[in-house]
Amino acid sequence: MVEDEAWLAELFEEQGPTLHRLAVMLGAETQSGHIIRTALLGLSRRERRIVDPAERVEYLIEHVVHQARSARGSLGQLQLQEVADPRQNEICQAVAAMPVRLGEILLVSHYLSIFGAALAGVMRMTVKGSNQRLAEAVEQVRATVGDPVPGSQPGVVESLSEELTAALRAAARLVQAPGTETLELELRALRARRDGVPLWVSTLFVAGALAVGGTLAWATTGRSEPVPSPSPVMTTNPAGAAARSRPSQVQSVPVYYVGRADSLLYRELRDLPVSGSLVQTAANAILSLAPLDPDYDSEWTPGRVVSATVEAGVLTIDLSADSYLEFGSEADAGRAVDQMVYTASDILGEPDLVVRFLADGAEPPAPFRGEHRRDGLTPLGKLWINSPGNTAKLPAGKINISGLTQESPTAPRILVSNSEGVLLTSLFAQIDIDPDGDGWRAWSVTLDLGPGEYQIVAEGSYGETVPQLLQQNRTITVS
């Protein structure tokens, strides 16, 4: 029997304001509602795997941290309000001004009082790496604002760590909390029983309810994902838009991430700002850009691409030494290597590309030494949705849903539900009769969708003797 659906609504009611304030301070104010909604959707799909209440909260925090990082972009900064107390304000401004990765870990640890293994899990780091980065961040604040002194703020503060907590929570109080006008509707939606309908479908009703509350402080503005094109396309802003200009972007750059459930590779097509070569741009994205789909992750921790050069079919990627610090096993390192190899190979159009790694110009750790190549379809997910991307915003009308599956006896079934959890469509996609030279079979289906938010699920199988069930999903907005 499915657990009482009210748990998700209660968790939202309890944690929503804190998560919203966290997203705002992490520099993702305009994306806050969307980030929290997708966090709830992701958690609802994992209700049977994540049952401990503390682990559920940590999952939501982790999602907010990394999706805020993605929404903020590589040039973004933390956004901390000015507070009335001079000492607290000095501390907040010191945190906002420091390198964003150090500021992030201070904000998450001290605002939420999360430390040790829990903090490492949220930040997707090892405990040792997390502790080292936190200690470095605290020391940077100490160097800027000095040690605590008697009378520096109301009450008795015995340490800089306590001052940090007080200052960050003071700044958080200045962030307008999300409204609660739609909460009763959300609770009713989650408590409603629908025979045979999984929990994530009911959760979509929450997303619709939140979207209705357009006056809320955390009303969403979704992140757009382009329809895949055969090759990356560079775009720039018109000259007259200088007041709100963005850097030139390359559209539909393939970036490979790792599936949380199966540890296989999946590709997202991303719009990335130009920074040196296209391979270097994509490598930086792997290190620092969270995937749009919460079911994906990156094995790499934040670092920096020193250089990426190609000569005679060999790509040499020189990464900062801190990029290699957080790998718990050779399997983790192997997936990290595959992320870089498959991404670079796709961009350069060279299936036989050889990749070598350096660490600040020197030999990298053992798992990264030597020459690395693609291993065919072995590391790749068996079923992909190529288009639309997760969180895509599309015009109403004909919507093409397409993807790939490794050689399979049947075409995937496509299920589309609206924001009220009503199943609108269930049909088999059209699929190529024969696989291509690499073993992929392309599939597609075209639907006529009006304005609204939709959940798209592709269900398939792999293998004829003992079929393995496969599933991919996307949330899109049609306007």
Dump pLDDT digits (tens) for 415-458. Answer: 999 877 788 999 999 998 888 888 888 999 999 999 999 999 99
Please compute Rg for the chain using Cα positions.
Answer: 23
Whose tokens are 């838009």? That residue is 241
Instruction: Supply 158's token pair.
Output: 């015995």
* pTM (predicted TM-score): 0.55
Flag whether pLDDT at 84 surpasses 80: yes
Write down the pLDDT at residue 378.
92
CA distance 178 to 15: 11
Gap between the Cα atoms of 424 and 240, Å rounded: 44
The angle that helices 53-72 and 116-123 make with each other, rounded to 10 degrees, is: 40
Q: For 140-193, what is each residue's pLDDT tens digit? A: 998 998 887 655 444 333 478 888 888 998 888 888 766 444 434 443 444 443
Q: What is the mean pLDDT of residues 96-104?
A: 89
Q: What are 375-405's pLDDT values in tens digits?
A: 999 999 999 998 898 888 899 999 999 999 9
| H-assigned helices in 107-173 | 112, 116-123, 127-145, 160-173
Structure token digits, residue 63: 């999602």
Answer for the pair 430, 446: CB distance below 8 angstroms, yes or no: no
Closest C-alpha among 201, 151, 208 to residue 33: 208
Dihedral angle over CA of 276, 364, 298, 117, nearest 10: -130
CB burial string 132-156: b at 16+ within 10 A, e below: ebbeebbebbeeebeebeeebbeee
In whole angstroms, what is the distance from residue 214 CA to residue 246 CA? 27
Residue 380 is classified by DSSP as B
pLDDT of 204 reads 39
Residue 10: enclosing H or E segment and its boundaries?
A: helix 6-25
Provide, rounded to the nearest whole percent, the portion of the chain with pLDDT above 90. 30
